[in-house]
Amino acid sequence: MSQDASNLAQRFISPEPVHITDRMIADFCAAVGEKNPLYVDAAAAKAGPYGGIIAPPALVASPTFRRGESSADRAERFRQGGLMAGIDMELETPMRAGDIITTTTEIKETYEKTGRTGTMTFTVIRSTLTNQKGEVIARVDYRMMSRKR
């Protein structure tokens, strides 16, 4: 596996934080068919382990939080195109309505693999979501794949 050191450690901070609202959580739950009472039922959630409604874990991987770098930077870095090859999430603290989330994005790793169709380059982009208290909500690794030309 080879590393392209020129891309590693580049860090981008979201230009504006995301304000989490009750409506945002409810809309996300409706869109994905989430019915867990911890996410959609205020009374049940209040009696639960978190003392109120929390956001479903999958919300951290939504496009809302993929804003750490500008479109121009992303276009230059991935000008050959590519496709999503996987997402890994490391969850730390529940996200709640009222949280103000800042996203920091960095190139975590690049490597190559050779398959039956040729060489592919993988880039792992890590987004770290932090709330207004400085608590890490989640680390999300997006694995992008492009064919080497």
Predicted confidence at residue 7, as pLDDT, reads: 53
25 lies in some domain? no
Please say if the pLDDT value at position 2 is more than 50: no
Q: What is the 3-state secondary structure (H, E, C) of the chain?
A: CCCCCCCCCCEEECCCCEECCHHHHHHHHHHHCCCCHHHHCHHHHHHCCCCCCCCCHHHHHCHHHCCCCCHHHHHHHCCCCCEEEEEEEEECCCCCCCCEEEEEEEEEEEEEEEECCEEEEEEEEEEEEECCCCCEEEEEEEEEEEECC
User: What domain range is 80 assigned to?
Assistant: 11-19+63-147
132 lies in some domain? yes
CATH code of residue 94 = 3.10.129.10
114 lies in some domain? yes
Number of domains the chain contains: 1
Q: What is the pLDDT of residues 34-93, one digit of tens each?
A: 999 999 999 999 999 999 999 999 999 988 886 544 444 554 555 455 788 899 999 999
